[in-house]
Amino acid sequence: MHWPAMLAWYLAGTIANYWVTELAGFVGAYSSVGGLLILPFAVLARLISLVGILLSMRDGLRSLQSVAPVPESVGERRRSFLTALLASILPFFAVYAAQGLLREDVQAYGLRALAKNKEEIGATLGTDRTFDPGDNVLELSFNVWTVLIIVVAFGARWAWGRWSKRLPRTFAVLAVYCEVVWVFFSILLLKDLTDAATTWVDNRAVMAWLGEVRTAFGGWFPPIVWLGDGVGWLLSQAGPVLLAPLAWLTVAGVVYGQAIVAEKLQIQHRLVTEMRDRVAQVPNPVMRRLRDLGTELGSRFLPIWRAILLMWRAGPVIIASYALLYTVVIVAESWLRYGVSRWIGPHDADLFWAVYWPVIFLIPPLIVEPIRFALIAGAYDTTFGMLRRAQEARTDAAAPATAEEVDAAAITAAAGALPAARLRGGAGDSVDMTASLPPGAPAPPLNPPD
């Protein structure tokens, strides 16, 4: 039974998220930078909860468990948890922000900080004491301090990745925090810059002119405008329905550590060639630092790309079925929340709802969230199992392997999952799958066990 563990992880993440947000709001009333440095812990609590829920179901995923069993020792499980946590921070924050959950945390933090500001200002009335709230509680402008925070946090995280074997294991907590901080501040700054750019474009005279052109064109050809509006509405409605389940499936793929090796695209372009020629003139010490920086940045996006490839190989039927079931679960949660409110009935807003509202509306997520995560984990295990069976279906080892089989072998071998790490390539050439392993990944054994 995985349900108790999933509920425990979800409750722990929800409670920790609430109290950390409260603490960040309290500190943010006096210093916005201090509050925003604490707020990432609230999102981290959600992420730890997610990783714990997914890993608690790992022994129930048949395809993944058959090739990559859960480690038996506590130390191995702890290292597996930390690795999954570090790898999933960037994709989780992207999904968390895209679905508006990060905005909700920031709003809760802002309301708590403003309430504390109001309380402090009210306490100074009629006294000689003054209260200076300082900067805005949500102020996070593009200045030297925010850039310095991002650079220092990223540099500390890079140092941990480079010298982690020489540092105490307790520094792993600091590495997780640094990873969260630089991603969190980067997303907030990127959002502010995007909003500023959008506002600037909307206020240009050319936008008003385009609106007039569209109105005039609609008077000449109304069906074309209707068709365009219909397509825009369909995309706005279908986008979240398809993107949300796929985004969470991508996060699950990163958490489970499924390394997917794609075919290397050799892009020979004139600009690329010229850039390589210029880079070749850079001194070796500088080149090594740039290469290390590129590897560190690329390691954030490589697991995401591999998880996307896994979904692509699964085919439209599996993905569409998963998206449909995911939508059904989300709609069921809305109806369950509606039913709970009608079941309880009308009560006094101050004496009843203000006191019991958080507990009452926690009931639907406690029922639906384990089902949603089980659906995500099951969809991932299904896609992984399909690719694994595609490799095992090849019985004639001497015959040339197809592209699909090479890809499937690369996917499983890169994860250190299957023992067969070599396939026959074209005309008798062997394909060494260990050459495509990500840095630090264990090489799979060459001979299958008896």
pLDDT band with cut points at 50, 70 and 90 for residue 18: very high
Comparing 434 with 102, which gets the higher pLDDT?
102
Rounded Cα gap, residues 367 and 383, in angstroms? 26
Q: Which of 37-51, 131-145, 261-275 has the lowest mean pLDDT?
A: 261-275
Task: Determine how many CB atoms are found less than 10 A away from the CB of residue 82.
Answer: 16
> Does 47 fall in a domain?
yes
Residue 271 belongs to some domain of the structure: no
Q: How confident is the model at residue 413 (pLDDT cuts 50, 70, 90)?
A: very low
**At residue 424, does pLDDT exceed 70?**
no
pTM over 0.75: no
Whether the per-residue pLDDT at 35 is higher than 80: the answer is yes
Most confident among 219-223, 326-330, 391-395 (mean pLDDT):
326-330
Residue entry with tokens 């990500």: 438
> pLDDT exceeding 70 applies to what percent of the chain?
67
pLDDT band at 434 (very low <50, low <70, confident <90, very high): very low
| 108 contacts: CB under 8 Å, gap ≥ 6 | 21, 25
Q: Tell me the H-state helices in 99-221.
A: 101-124, 144-163, 171-202, 205-220
**For residue 45, what pLDDT is reported?**
93
Decide if pLDDT at 294 tops 90: no
Give 27-60 as a DSSP string: HHTT-HHHHHHHTHHHHHHHHHHHHHHHHHTGGG
Angstrom distances, CA of residue 173 to CA of 9, 157, 170, 307: 19, 11, 6, 26
Ranges 9-18, 199-208, 246-255, 379-388: which has the least confidence: 199-208
Residue where the block lists tokens 């048949």: 62
The size of the chain, in residues, is 450
Residue 427 — pLDDT band, cuts 50, 70, 90? Answer: very low
Mean pLDDT of 1-15: 89
Q: Which residues have a Cβ under 8 Å from the Cβ of 84 and sit 6 or more positions away?
A: 51, 54, 55, 254, 255, 256, 257
Q: What is the mean pLDDT of residues 113-139?
A: 74
Please enumerate in sequence order all residues whose Cβ is within 8 A of that of 81, keeping only pairs 6 or more positions apart, or say none. Answer: 51, 52, 55
Percent of all residues in the chain with a pLDDT value above 90, rounded to a whole number: 10
- From 332, 350, 348, select the one nearest 340 (Cα to Cα): 332
Confidence band of 264 (pLDDT split at 50, 70, 90): very low
Max intra-chain CA distance, the chain: 91
Residue with tokens 């405008």: 225
* 396 secondary structure, DSSP code: -
Higher pLDDT, 286 or 321: 321
**pLDDT the model gives residue 372:** 92
Q: Predicted confidence band at 409 (pLDDT cuts at 50, 70, 90)?
A: low
The verdict on residue 71 lying in a domain is yes
Report the pLDDT averaged over residues 210-217. Answer: 70
What is the structure's pLDDT at 277? 53
Residue 60 corresponds to which tokens in the numbers above? 């129930």
pLDDT of res. 425: 40
69 in any annotated domain? yes
* pLDDT at 1 exceeding the cut of 80: no
Higher pLDDT, 267 or 50: 50
Instruction: Please tell me the predicted confidence (pLDDT) of residue 265.
Output: 28
Task: Please give the C-alpha separations between residue 19 and each of 107, 133, 257, in angstroms, as whole numbers.
Answer: 14, 22, 30
Q: Is the pLDDT of residue 27 over 80?
A: yes
pLDDT of 345 reads 80
- Name the pLDDT band for 313 (thresholds 50, 70, 90): low
Confidence class for position 394, pLDDT limits 50, 70, 90: low
- Residue 148 domain flag: no
pLDDT of residue 121: 78
CB atoms within 10 A of CB 71: 14
User: What pLDDT was estimated at residue 442?
Assistant: 44
Residue 67 counted as domain residue = yes
Cα angle for residues 67, 176, 305 (degrees, 5° grid):
50
Domain count, the chain: 1
CA distance 93 to 247: 11
Residue 334 pLDDT greater than 70, yes or no: yes
Residue 195 predicted with pLDDT over 60: yes
Cβ distance 414 to 261 under 8 Å? yes
pLDDT in tens, 62-82: 877 777 777 778 877 888 888
Among 227-241, 280-294, 388-402, top mean pLDDT goes to: 227-241
pLDDT, mean of residues 430-439: 41
More confident residue, 107 or 446: 107
CB contact at 8 A, 53 and 41 = no
Using the predicted structure, report yes or no on whether residue 29 has a pLDDT greater than 90.
no
**Structural domain contains residue 447:** no
Q: How high is the pLDDT of residue 429? A: 43
| β-bridge mates for residue 422, sequence order | 432
pLDDT on residue 48: 93
Which domain covers residue 317, as residue numbers?
Answer: 2-139+204-265+296-396
The predicted pLDDT at position 271 comes to 40
Q: Which helix (H) or strand (E) holds 430?
A: strand 430-432
At 21 the pLDDT is: 93
pLDDT value at residue 438: 40
Q: Which amino acid belongs to residue 163?
A: W
Query: Does residue 404 belong to any structural domain of this protein?
Result: no
Name the nearest CA neighbour of 333 among 374, 375, 355, 362: 362
Amino acid 259: pLDDT: 35
Long-range pairs of 394-400 with CB within 8 A, sequence gap ≥ 24: 397/424, 398/424, 399/424, 400/424, 400/425, 400/426, 400/427
